[in-house]
Structure 1
């Protein structure tokens, strides 16, 4: 069986062109998705943290570009009188221990929860 080199070359060139077009299309879709996802995500972080700047990849790579920011979670704090810490320890780590507790929410419903208790040496940043 003998193949004509021109026909084989022609078919291979079409296959290569099809693969390149598919890769370009996939790349375009991926880049478009990243751009469309990233911008709303950045805006959401700005709104949530109330700060115009937060950690970006170039800031992680070069510490002198780092701009510190803090998020305010005061509305997430639970008064101590709404928590009853039980004796059962659920876990422990370098920063403290996690214990089971009973939490009374705003509607006076009681729920099982977990509370992390920081070690004395840990400081709030």
Structure 2
């Protein structure tokens, strides 16, 4: 049995993560799916619902919108949630950012790579993929 913490930030991430995990999870596994945002909104609810609907057909899914509530935002909220549920693996979507975007906005995936103490699965999102050279 594996406990996964899945962090999402929208429909695209939820869909890509569900596609990836549907090939790996079993009925014995548990998924804690979260969207860390300061305000509950329709987009956040829809994102966690996708994970609940798709992966809930395979295993137990506990999905929720959580408030990151402090400095460090979603990155620290995901780390705290992983510890709280005793997750064995964390799964998030991977976006590509320009150097300027990383400086201004930061990168949750990059910060998690540096701070996570459990395995981290980064699922590339289709809209950020570079077409293969022909």
Give the TM-score normalised by structure 1: 0.19
Q: Compare CA radii of gyration and give the structure with the larger one.
A: 1
Give the TM-score normalised by structure 2: 0.18
